[in-house]
Amino acid sequence: MRYITTNAGPQPTIRSIADHSWHSRAACYGINPKEADRLFFHGPRNFRDRQQAKQVCAACPVQRDCLNFALENGVEHGLWGGLTLKERAKWRDKLDNRLDYTRVRSAINGRDVRLSSLERKAVVRYACARGWSTTRLAHVLGISVEWARDRMSEEARAIEDRDRHNVHSDPAPVAGPKGDESSAGGPPPSSVQDADNPDAGHTGDDIVPVDRHVHTPVIVGDFRKAA
């Protein structure tokens, strides 16, 4: 008896830079090239063509994929994902501040994903924590081995500086009102319970120091599935 194995698992949601597989499911797929140029690459004052193109995009099942493709590949012409170049500007400005760990895990697993500067730093941090070679990091990020070595050295120094700061800043335990030892000026007991949810009770602009013995397992845990 022969068995045929199939890949019936969930399909990846993060697409590579050069992945065009979504084209065949687009609402504009199969449109006459001249008609497509008129609608999606119209002149700046062709408001009627632009509105018609936006109506096509509004009903498109891969509108988000189309927009992401234009943003991540720096497309500077035409209407993509229902947005013109000017309308895409605010999304493009925010692109480098994105921190999506799903994209980080996809890059670690070998997918050709365009990462922001914050996401690239997360990959370097993971590489240091797991003892990657500079060659492997260079391959994942698409950089030279020398550049990868510099990035890992910077991350190692940052970890060393953080550890040194934590050692000198930890207050000595003092006796509490009932003789119990407690940390003078230390965080309330609930702060340890918030280790799994560091954003609880804080705004996005707050800087909350976390001890390395709490911080490091959280970082490694975020990436453990990607190993």
Q: How far is CA 201 from CA 82, 105, 107, 191, 215, in A?
A: 37, 27, 31, 10, 17
pLDDT: is 53 or 205 the higher one? 53
Rg (CA), the chain: 24
Sequence-ordered list of residues with C-beta below 8 angstroms from that of 80, at least 6 positions apart, any chain: 40, 66, 67, 69, 70, 88
Q: What per-residue confidence (pLDDT) applies to 159?
A: 80
pTM confidence score: 0.50
Mean pLDDT, residues 120-127: 92
Count how many Cα atoms sit within 13 Å of the Cα of residue 65 in the half-sphere of its side chain.
19
Q: What per-residue confidence (pLDDT) applies to 195?
A: 40
Q: What per-residue confidence (pLDDT) applies to 42?
A: 82
Q: How far is CA 206 from CA 20, 172, 202, 203, 209, in A?
A: 40, 25, 6, 6, 10
* E strand intervals along 135-203: 173-175, 181-183
Band of the pLDDT at 3, cuts 50, 70, 90?
very low
Q: What is the pLDDT of residues 193-219, one digit of tens each?
A: 444 444 444 444 444 444 444 445 555
Flag whether pLDDT at 174 surpasses 60: no
Most confident of 6-15, 17-26, 51-60, 171-180: 51-60
Q: What per-residue confidence (pLDDT) applies to 22?
A: 83
Domain residue ranges of the chain, discontinuous segments joined by +: 21-97, 101-173+208-226
Helices and strands counted in the chain (H then E):
10, 2
Q: What per-residue confidence (pLDDT) applies to 27?
A: 93
Contact call for residues 79 and 57 (beta carbons, < 8 A): yes
Q: How far is CA 33 from CA 3, 38, 49, 66, 124, in A?
A: 45, 9, 15, 18, 44
Query: Looking at 63-67, 119-123, 161-165, which range is the least confident one?
Result: 161-165
Contact call for residues 88 and 80 (beta carbons, < 8 A): yes
Mean pLDDT, residues 151-156: 89
